[in-house]
């Protein structure tokens, strides 16, 4: 692990000697696992406990909003209680020191913002933000709603502002992500596989433009195929070491 981190650090330093760093960090469920946030897919995934069609599509959702809201109550509760871990904190340091200009996250848990990162782009929405299905008004939840489903003042039902499976991703965030991916010369991929759009596309676009790619993950993913450096391990262990070494501390 130390050897691969060392190699990644030299890669960044070499790049820095040649040009000004323009970078983004792409994050996924893996970074929040260490904060106790359950992943939606895979082993023990939330969606394994529930019927996928029912909870992850708007149709299923509309058929039985109360049931789905009860599930979300549980999810939101866990997220309100969750604390950023060492990986989230390391990314704040990275941002402060000019090595991370944007975090593009697929997570809906606000942990990057809680840690103190400033430029966070949420491409799958935010679970603690709800929106009215009729007038589109947003509300930021501070605690778990007591009555479900929560209703808007217009009489419409509120739903969590997360992207469900048959829905388009938030347009502004996606456009911005592609602009960032096009300009970057350094990409860190943390705790995400290349299975879901746009995570599957962004790094390849950057790579085509000559960006260096560093992957942090506890397992091999598709991204490793285009990586200049792969650091295997839990990101809450590897990222802090990477940053300490990068900042020569």
Determine if 130 is a binding residue for Zn ion (CB under 5 A).
no
Min separation Cβ 156 and Zn ion, Å: 4
Q: Which residues are catalytic?
A: 124
Q: Which helix (H) or strand (E) holds 2?
A: helix 2-18
Determine if 132 is a binding residue for Zn ion (CB under 5 A).
yes
* Strands 229-232 vs 212-217: parallel, antiparallel or unpaired: parallel
93 or 161: whose CB is closer to Zn ion? 161
153 or 248: whose CB is closer to Zn ion? 153
70 or 134: whose CB is closer to Zn ion? 134
Whole-angstrom Cα distance, residue 69 to residue 36? 21
Whole-angstrom Cα distance, residue 239 to residue 231? 9
Which range binds Zn ion by CB under 5 A, 55-63, 126-134, 143-151, 235-243? 126-134
Min separation Cβ 149 and Zn ion, Å: 12
Min separation Cβ 21 and Zn ion, Å: 44
Min separation Cβ 161 and Zn ion, Å: 13
Largest CA distance in the chain: 59
**C-alpha separations of 125 from 36, 45, 228 in Å:** 19, 19, 30
| 8 Å CB contact between 114 and 138 | no
Determine if 188 is a binding residue for Zn ion (CB under 5 A).
no
Which range binds Zn ion by CB under 5 A, 67-75, 91-99, 127-135, 181-189? 127-135
User: Which of 154, 165, 220, 225 contacts Zn ion by CB under 5 A?
Assistant: 154
Whole-angstrom Cα distance, residue 215 to residue 221? 9
Determine if 152 is a binding residue for Zn ion (CB under 5 A).
yes
Whole-angstrom Cα distance, residue 75 to residue 110? 13
62 or 154: whose CB is closer to Zn ion? 154
Phi, psi of 159 (to 5 degrees): -130, 155
Determine if 65 is a binding residue for Zn ion (CB under 5 A).
no
- The three-state secondary structure class of 131 is strand
Residues binding Zn ion (CB under 5 A) = 132, 134-135, 137, 152, 154, 156
């Amino acid at each position: 692990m130390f050897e691969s981190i060392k190699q990644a650090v030299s890669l960044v330093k070499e790049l820095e000697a040649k040009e000004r760093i323009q970078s983004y960090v792409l994050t996924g469920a893996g970074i929040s696992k260490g904060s106790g946030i359950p992943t939606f897919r895979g082993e023990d995934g939330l969606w394994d406990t529930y019927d996928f069609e029912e909870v992850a599509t708007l149709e299923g959702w509309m058929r039985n909003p109360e049931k789905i809201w009860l599930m979300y109550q549980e999810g939101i509760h866990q997220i309100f209680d969750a604390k950023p871990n060492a990986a989230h904190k390391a990314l704040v340091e990275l941002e402060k020191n000019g090595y991370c200009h944007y975090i593009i996250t697929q997570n809906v848990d606000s942990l990057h913002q809680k840690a103190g990162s400033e430029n966070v782009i949420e491409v799958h929405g935010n679970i603690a933000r709800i929106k009215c299905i009729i007038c589109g008004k947003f509300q930021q939840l501070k605690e778990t709603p007591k009555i479900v489903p929560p209703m808007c003042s217009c009489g419409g039902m509120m739903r969590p502002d997360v992207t469900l499976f048959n829905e388009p991703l938030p347009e502004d965030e996606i456009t911005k992500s592609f602009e960032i991916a096009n300009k970057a010369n350094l990409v860190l991929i943390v705790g995400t596989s290349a299975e879901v759009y746009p995570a599957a596309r962004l790094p390849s676009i950057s790579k085509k433009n000559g960006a260096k790619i560093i992957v942090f993950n506890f397992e091999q993913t598709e991204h490793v195929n285009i990586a200049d450096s792969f650091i295997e391990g839990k990101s809450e262990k590897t990222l802090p070491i990477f940053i300490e070494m990068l900042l020569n501390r």
